[in-house]
Amino acid sequence: MSILVIADHDNGSLKPVTLNVLAAATAIGGDIDVLVAGEGCGAAAEAASKAAGVAKVLVADNAAYGHQLAENLSLLVADLGKGYSHVLTSAGTTGKDFLPRVAALLDVAQISDIIKVESADTFVRPIYAGNAIATVQSSDAIKVITVRGTAFDPVAAEGGSAAVEAIDNVQDAGISTFVGQEMAESDRPELTAAEIVISGGRGMQNGDNFAMLEKVADKLGAAMGASRAAVDAGFVPNDMQVGQTGKIVAPNLYIAVGISGAIQHLAGMSGSKVIVAINKDEEAPIFQVADYGLVADLFDAVPELEAAL
């Protein structure tokens, strides 16, 4: 078995989720190579070479991969992937974007968002917004897989000493260009990797009231999330959305404030270790999954919580 893991990175640094994907690769077993494709991505490659269990790091450093456009990246990965039994990456927006293209180019199925490795050809993944769990077996020669990072404990970031090898494989499909980006600025921990997440929903009433949650988040060192209702109402930007169509989180502690607990929201956070719900409606579905529920007006309870911490 030989496994190719495509690293998540922003050129300058390796994203922590790569270590979770490496854990899934380790569970499959075999030699693990990591591909770092980007522009000026030497530092990310260096970091990947230190991760536990990595045999070799391949670096494709070229302007064609600078923004990881799916059209170019998928040609590179499909080309390299022919030599491997498994091709893995994280189920972030980059992985979801380019990997199905790789699968189609290799004429194999893709297995999305796995949460468990049963064996080298059998994997477990949630379907129907996490309301059912499917075990699927693949007969393809190359298994192309995206991994739900929160479902695997990360491998050690230090201690490895893999060889770093530059590869000169430039694939430019010439059909897409990067135009621009608008990234949300935040000093808080990244939502999908945070130990504690505090999320607000429609009950917050407006964007200004999220300042109350920020104060609690600061005291706990928590990341901030939101329900779709809060995003759609314009309270907070969309990248804060937790749920089936947003981010999947599984922190140690998830605090849901003014969130009713629709199926689609639960899909994104029901893997959390401890769930706290603060809601004034005691019939809200969120209380059916909450370990600790507080039936109270959030405008009283949240400042009290901040004061108590």
Partner 1 sequence: MKVLVAVKRVIDYNVKVRVKADNSDVDLTNIKMAMNPFCEIAVEEAVRLKEKGIASEIVVVSIGPKVAQEQIRTALALGADRGILVETDEQVQSLQAAKILKAIVDEEQPQLVILGKQSIDSDNNQTGQMLAALAGMGQGTFASEVVVEGDKVNVTREVDGGLMTVGLNLPAVVTTDLRLNEPRYASLPNIMKAKKKPLDTKSPADYGVELSASLTTLKVEEPAKRSAGIKVADVAELVDKLKNEAKVI
The interface with partner 1 within residues 127-146 (CB under 8 A) comprises 127-140
User: Can residue 61 be called a binding residue for partner 1 (CB under 8 A)?
Assistant: no
31-38 vs 116-119, strand pairing mode: unpaired
User: Can residue 200 be called a binding residue for partner 1 (CB under 8 A)?
Assistant: no
Could you give the CA distance from residue 293 to residue 257 in angstroms, rounded to a whole number? Answer: 10
3-state secondary structure of 252: coil
Distant-in-sequence, close-in-space partners of 187: CB < 8 Å, separation ≥ 6 = none
Residue 304 token pair: 């009290």
User: Can residue 287 be called a binding residue for partner 1 (CB under 8 A)?
Assistant: yes
Closer to partner 1 by Cβ: residue 169 or 264: 264
Closer to partner 1 by Cβ: residue 154 or 285: 285
User: Can residue 228 be called a binding residue for partner 1 (CB under 8 A)?
Assistant: yes
Could you give the CA distance from residue 221 to residue 149 in angstroms, rounded to a whole number? Answer: 21
User: Can residue 85 be called a binding residue for partner 1 (CB under 8 A)?
Assistant: no
User: Can residue 163 be called a binding residue for partner 1 (CB under 8 A)?
Assistant: no
Interface stretch with partner 1, choices 18-26, 33-41, 202-210, 272-280 (CB under 8 A): 272-280
Closer to partner 1 by Cβ: residue 59 or 99: 99
* Torsion angles phi and psi, residue 255, rounded to 5: -110, 115
Per the CB < 8 A criterion, the answer to whether 169 and 62 are in contact is no
User: Can residue 261 be called a binding residue for partner 1 (CB under 8 A)?
Assistant: no
Closer to partner 1 by Cβ: residue 71 or 218: 71
Q: By CB neighbour count within 10 A (0-12 exposed, 13-18 middle, 19+ buried), where does 157 fall?
A: middle
Closer to partner 1 by Cβ: residue 157 or 295: 295
Q: By CB neighbour count within 10 A (0-12 exposed, 13-18 middle, 19+ buried), where does 27 fall?
A: middle
Cα-Cα-Cα-Cα dihedral of 71, 184, 243, 15, to 10°? 60
User: Can residue 103 be called a binding residue for partner 1 (CB under 8 A)?
Assistant: yes
User: Can residue 152 be called a binding residue for partner 1 (CB under 8 A)?
Assistant: no
Closer to partner 1 by Cβ: residue 49 or 244: 244
Question: In residues, how long is the chain?
Answer: 309
Closer to partner 1 by Cβ: residue 111 or 213: 111
Contact residue for partner 1 among 11, 62, 89, 192 (CB under 8 A): 192
When computed from its CA atoms, the radius of gyration of the chain, rounded to whole angstroms, is: 20
User: Can residue 165 be called a binding residue for partner 1 (CB under 8 A)?
Assistant: no
Closest alpha carbon to 173 in 36, 93, 41, 64: 64
**Positions in 33-52 near partner 1 (CB under 8 A):** none
Closest alpha carbon to 267 in 150, 173, 164: 150
The least CB distance from residue 26 to partner 1, in Å, is 23
User: Can residue 96 be called a binding residue for partner 1 (CB under 8 A)?
Assistant: yes
User: Can residue 173 be called a binding residue for partner 1 (CB under 8 A)?
Assistant: yes
User: Can residue 157 be called a binding residue for partner 1 (CB under 8 A)?
Assistant: no
Contact residue for partner 1 among 55, 56, 237, 280 (CB under 8 A): 237
Cα-Cα-Cα-Cα dihedral of 11, 12, 17, 18, to 10°? 60
Contact residue for partner 1 among 122, 188, 233, 280 (CB under 8 A): 122
